[in-house]
Structure 1
Amino acid sequence: MKTPLPLADVYAVLEPGPVLLLGTAQDGRANLMPMSWHCMLEFEPPQVGCVVSAGNHSFAALEATGECVLNVPTVELAQQLVGCGNSHGDHLDKFARFGLTAVPSTQVAVPRVEECYANLECRVIDRQLVGRYNFFVLEVLKAWHDPTVTAPRTLHHRGYGKFMVAGEELQLDSAMR
């Protein structure tokens, strides 16, 4: 028998995952923030919608520069991911503190995280919903991935410090090519 779910826990049911490390940079200083509130909006060119709380240091940088990198970590980076989320980018260098390697991007002035399985260099293309919902629309300008990682074990936030790890993959008939 089902029981009522507290409304504050609804997000844990709908989290789109995977958790990303949102990379931003402003005034020559890079920052990382875990982010799980994102969704694909378009295939080509790839467009991603994301929510970044106005209370986060990353919001100010994204709002000011209009650039970011969506870094996709795997389970091996779980501790660094949580560490980035439990610290403030205006107080420390998260790359140095958590042993992550910053590598130059080619389309934006934000470094990529080398240890992440994939990196998406993005530019903000629509801010219409930022004032009301902190919702940015991004266009992916350049995408990188590690071709040796064929089944990435990504992290999916379940709330209150709990994560689910992506695992089993199913191949079903699809009209999509």
Structure 2
Amino acid sequence: MRRYRKFDYPVEDVRRFLEPGPIVLVSAAWKGQRNVMTLGWHMVLEFTPSRLATMIARGNHSFELIRRSGECVINLPTAEMLDTVVGIGNCSGAVIDKFDRFGLETVAASEVAAPLLSQCHASFECRLVDRSQIARQGLFIWEVVKAHVARVPKLPRTVHYRGDGQFMVSGAEVSRRRLFKPEML
């Protein structure tokens, strides 16, 4: 097994190694307003019920829509949407309608008011289950109440932000299933 010689590294940049999760597009709706935002700060908290957390900055236009509605849709774009994902993140829904600007087609969700994005490989309808960290940390804790996933491709090419304008694209799947105990899968 290879050993690595390590050097000091700026602590403010460690996220470039620890943010491997895919970039998502979070759609929101509240009292006739809607928006979509690009988000990289999310994590899985629990499998059953399916719980996720997102960190959304207070200054983001979607923050109040999401906080007040208590719901959102977390949409999973593929690598083909990378320029759109960056564009969505570079503008404010307080100034423009991002759905129109980027040609995003929406479908009504079945459990929440926020729209699903047709161009995304998957869409997860979420309801807020814990508000305790929103004011202090901008941390929203969600339960996925409905999931919509395309059957093809089975393994979508997702984009993962590395910081400083750099992305990785997911690659080939590598299985070690035979090494896992059944209860650990």
Q: For the superposition of Structure 1 and Structure 2, which TM-score range results when normalised by the shorter chain? A: over 0.9
**TM-score of the aligned structures, taking structure 1 as reference length:** 0.96
Supply the AA of the counterpart residue of 2:118: E
Unaligned runs of 5+ in 1: none
Q: Distance in 1 between matches of 2:57 and 2:73?
A: 17
Equivalent position to 1:32, from 30, 36, 53: 36
Q: Distance in 1 between matches of 2:76 and 2:67?
A: 21
Q: Distance in 2 between matches of 1:79 and 1:93?
A: 17
SS at match of 2:94: coil
CA-based RMSD of the aligned residues comes to 1.1
Contact 1:53 1:59 in 2 (8 A): yes
SS at match of 1:80: helix
SS at match of 2:14: helix
**TM-score of the aligned structures, taking structure 2 as reference length:** 0.92
Counting aligned pairs with the same residue, the percent is 42
SS at match of 1:156: strand
Q: Distance in 2 between matches of 1:159 and 1:140?
A: 27
Q: 1:29: Cα distance to partner?
A: 2.2
- Is 1:6 equivalent to 2:28 in the alignment? no
1:79 matched residue in structure 2: 83
Supply the AA of the counterpart residue of 1:84: I
Summarize the alignment of residues 9-24 of structure 1 with structure 2, pairs less than 5 Å apart.
9-24=13-28
CA deviations on 1:122-171 (whole Å, 9 max, x unpaired) are: 01000111121111100001000110121111010001211100011111
2:112 matched residue in structure 1: 108
Residue-pair matches, total: 177
Equivalent position to 1:139, from 137, 143, 146: 143
